[in-house]
């Protein structure tokens, strides 16, 4: 579960330009960033540190092409829990955290309790994970899987 520190900080127009630029290229230098957003390098550095402290900017990562590392199949899997007790939810969420093939997990409203995004090599790989791992978890009552046929849009950038 992602924890974000609560911190009241107004995000102004320059902050938004910094955020947009960093979402496009997290490796940009402070000097290049300053040129793009119309601020000094020192000001950009201070603003980045303040945005990090406020929990607005999270960790810096490099994106990976899943198909290039043998994880080209995306499965969206709805999960129904046996129990909604906090210990059952906690056990399931700990399990999710421990599984590298589960790259996103949402607690849901409606008929299903969780929605997982799972990346695997192929259908057989997913079948093994589903039958031997996911459905054998004591908190899971059922699952419904949907295979993505193609990816029409993917972004990690938040609109600012």
Q: Quick: pLDDT tens for 120-158.
A: 999 999 999 999 999 999 999 999 999 999 999 999 999
User: For domain 66-147, is the CATH number 3.40.50.720?
Assistant: no
90-122 pLDDT, tens digit each: 999 999 999 999 999 999 999 999 999 999 999
How confident is the prediction for the chain on average, in pLDDT? 94
Residue tagged 């929990």 (tokens): 55
The pLDDT of residue 71 is above 80: yes
pTM of the model: 0.86
What residues does each domain of the chain span? 13-53, 66-147
- Right CATH for 13-53 from 1.50.10.10, 1.10.10.60, 1.25.40.340, 1.10.10.10: 1.10.10.10
pLDDT given for residue 121 in this prediction: 97
The pLDDT of residue 40 is above 50: yes
User: Is there a contact between 117 and 154 (Cβ–Cβ < 8 Å)?
Assistant: no
C-alpha to C-alpha distance for 57 and 4, rounded to whole angstroms: 10
What residues have CB less than 8 Å from 141, skipping those under 6 apart?
80, 81, 82
């Amino acid at each position: 579960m992602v924890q974000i520190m609560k911190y009241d900080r107004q995000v102004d127009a320059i902050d938004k330009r910094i955020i947009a630029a960093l979402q496009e290229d997290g490796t940009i230098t402070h000097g290049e960033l300053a040129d793009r957003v119309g601020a000094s390098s020192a000001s950009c550095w201070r603003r980045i540190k303040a945005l990090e402290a406020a929990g607005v900017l999270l960790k810096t990562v490099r994106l990976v092409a899943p198909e290039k590392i043998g994880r080209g199949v995306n499965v969206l899997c709805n999960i129904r829990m046996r129990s909604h007790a906090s210990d059952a939810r906690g056990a399931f969420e700990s399990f999710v955290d421990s599984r590298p093939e589960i790259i996103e997990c949402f607690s849901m409203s409606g008929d299903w309790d969780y929605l997982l995004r799972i990346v695997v090599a192929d259908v057989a790989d997913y079948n093994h994970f589903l039958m031997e791992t996911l459905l054998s978890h004591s908190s899971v009552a059922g699952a419904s899987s949907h295979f993505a046929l193609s990816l029409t849009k993917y972004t990690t950038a938040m609109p600012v």
